A and B are shown apart, each in its own frame.
Chain A
């Protein structure tokens, strides 16, 4: 089990290799990527920032909870900070399990938990040069 807040591009192939084991019949990989349009505005990229110490603690707790809930220790999660360009990975979650059901359910559960409780924020950069925090009134 490993989780990290990282500032360099995420190597998703390395994540899947990291959770692989002979006893596993399934590896489920979720990759969140930067989309070109949000709320009708053309996006060029997203700047991610985090309260790193707390985000790392929350990510670690989520991975442990997922492990207990779905019965596997083969969980790896990485979340980006810094500028992430269109199409690039902002988050990747790899879970391996003896069976596909729990592997897929665990990746889904983990991404929903991340969105709910990990202190990470995104500032969208738009084609017209504007920048805005996502989901925050300020």
Chain B
């Protein structure tokens, strides 16, 4: 399946885009999506296990992802 993964703040700067398109297996999990994004830009030095949100909720690496999900990589937050 094809997924558009949202990027923010330093991650968007590192990849030069607010979202990137990746192709992953239909039974892909969050960790597989992260691997696919990192493979797009090995020089961008994204962390191995960034925070990930699926449909606006933090998700663990083993959570299954569906093609209709909104997936986002979340840099370390700094609100306040």
Q: Which residues of A are interface residues toward B (Cβ below 8 A)?
A: 32, 48-51, 53-55, 57, 79, 90-91, 111, 114-123, 133-138
Contact = CB atoms under 8 A, between A and B. Distances in A.
User: Size class of B's contact patch?
Assistant: 20 to 34
Chain A CB within 10 A, most for which of B11, B14, B53, B77 = B77
A135 B78 contact: yes
A82 to B, nearest CB: 14
Contacts of B8: 49, 51, 119, 121
A50 B57 CA distance: 14
B13 A138 contact: yes
Interface in B12-69: 13-14, 45, 53, 56-58
A24 B37 CA distance: 51
Contacts of B76: 135-136
Contacts of B56: 53-54, 57
Interface of B: 6, 8-11, 13-14, 45, 53, 56-58, 72, 74-80
Contacts of B77: 115-121
A71 B72 CA distance: 34
5 contacts: A91-B79, A119-B8, A121-B10, A136-B78, A138-B14
Given A54-B56, A57-B56, A90-B80, A136 B75 contact: yes
A33 to B, nearest CB: 10
A121 B78 contact: yes
A51 B79 contact: no
A57 B57 CA distance: 9
B5 to A, nearest CB: 12
Contacts of A116: 77
B10 A119 contact: no
A121 B79 CA distance: 6
